[in-house]
Amino acid sequence: MVRSDLVDIIAAENPHLNRDDAERVVLALFSQIIAGLEGGKRIELRGFGVFSIREREAREARNPRTGAQVQVQEKHIPFFKTGKELHKRLNGDA
């Protein structure tokens, strides 16, 4: 599923919203999740999951092509952990 599919589903299930309004809702949701993560916040959607940021420290690695050592900078990686309800549904425990 891609974003446009999600917009179409929301528009179809909410006849009072046209497609443009549904797209604005989806974009607003995504932008708030992104803004929260940029601010270092943990985003919890009960029953669905938690978005958070994990930090990876700087380290030395090897270039697989040349074998030369390279320095990899510190990174902030987005991380998603499923909620209990979603985990149960995906694993047939529901």
**Domain parsing of the chain, residue ranges:** 1-41, 42-94
- Domain 42-94: CATH superfamily is IHF-like DNA-binding proteins (4.10.520.10)
pTM of the model: 0.78
For the cut 70, the answer to whether the pLDDT of residue 37 exceeds it is yes
The predicted-structure confidence for 63-89, as pLDDT tens digits, reads as follows: 999 999 999 999 999 999 999 999 999
* Residue 74, SS3 per DSSP: coil
What pLDDT was estimated at residue 5?
A: 95
SS in 3 state form for the chain?
CCHHHHHHHHHHHCCCCCHHHHHHHHHHHHHHHHHHHHCCCCEEECCCEEEEEEEECCEEEECCCCCCEEEECCEEEEEEEECHHHHHHHCCCC
